[in-house]
Structure 1
């Protein structure tokens, strides 16, 4: 797939086929993440690939988070988003994805380094999602499960010197949503040309 096609075809996938992913493809995705740019080339990221019983535990906990978060919804605030019951179902099983990948970043006492580490790990996350798209897989950049970060840390034995940046289910898409409109498609409001 041509590079700009990959960017334009990437979607937030929330329904996956149960098909397993070959380990070689997971490693290709993580290799792409590992080649992300990073501040001072420190490459401060780590990746947790979670499946099986640990994934089920995380899903059950995320389902509780979403249930609580959406308890006052009469309907989804964004009409293009899924209804409450579907959101809870998605959360409980991470959309049926066979694996989830968690991106971690090193921590640092200096806030400037900490910000740079977070930005670097975010670049790795983006590379990961684009690589998944290029391989015919899908993912979804998620931070909702971090609402109970203490639980994540306990189940996955994440040490205090690592920041949990984001989570993505990874799998073969069962449903590929239509592209969401850009807020400024012709870049007249979000771009300023300065001389």
Structure 2
């Protein structure tokens, strides 16, 4: 796929085929993430590839988070990007994805460094999602599971000197949603030219 086609085809995937992902493809995706730009070239990211029982444990916990978070959605469906029960089902099994990728960074005491580390990890996350798209895979940038970060730390043995930045299920899409409209497609409100 051509570069701009990859960008335009990337979607947040929430339904996956159960097919396993070759380890070489996961490593290719994480290598793309590892080539992201980073503040001072410190490359502060780390990646956890979670499968099997640990993935199931994460899903069960995320399902509880979503169940609580969406308790009022039935009364206000205009707030929902998907039906409540469908969202809970997705969360419980991460959409059926065979793997979940967790992006970590070093926890730094200096807020300036910490902000730079999170921004750097965000660039790595974007590279990861674009690489997945280029290989016919999909993911979904998620922070919702961090609502119970302590549980994630315990299950994944994440030490206190690491911060969890984001999570993405990873797999072959069962369903690719239509593109959601851009809020300012002709960039007349989001771009200012200064001289």
TM-score w.r.t. the length of structure 2 is 0.98
Instruction: Provide the residue aligned with 2:105 in structure 1.
Output: 105
What RMSD in Å do the two structures reach over aligned CA positions? 0.8
CA distance in 1, matches of 2:78, 2:137: 28
TM-score computed with the length of structure 1 as normaliser: 0.98
Moved over 3 A (4+): 75-79
Is 1:69–2:69 an aligned residue pair? yes
Displacement of 1:59: 0.2
TM-fit CA distance, 1:157: 0.3
Q: What's the offset of the Cα at 1:72?
A: 1.3
Structure 1 counterpart of 2:87: 87
Matched, 1:176 2:176: yes
Query: Secondary structure, in 3 states, of the residue corresponding to 2:169?
Result: strand
Post-superposition offset of 1:119: 0.2
Q: How far apart are residue 76 of structure 1 and its match?
A: 3.7
Of the structure 1 ranges 67-76 and 144-153, higher mean CA displacement relative to structure 2 is found in 67-76
- The Cα shift of 1:109 comes to 1.0
Conserved 8 A contact 2:73-2:79: no
For structure 1, the 5+ residue unaligned runs are: none
**Offset of residue 139 of structure 1:** 0.2
1:52 shift after superposition: 0.2
1:82-105 deviation digits (Å, cap 9, x = unpaired):
100000000000000000000001
- The alpha carbon displacement at 1:142 in A equals 0.2
Q: Give the equivalent residue in structure 2 for 1:141.
A: 141
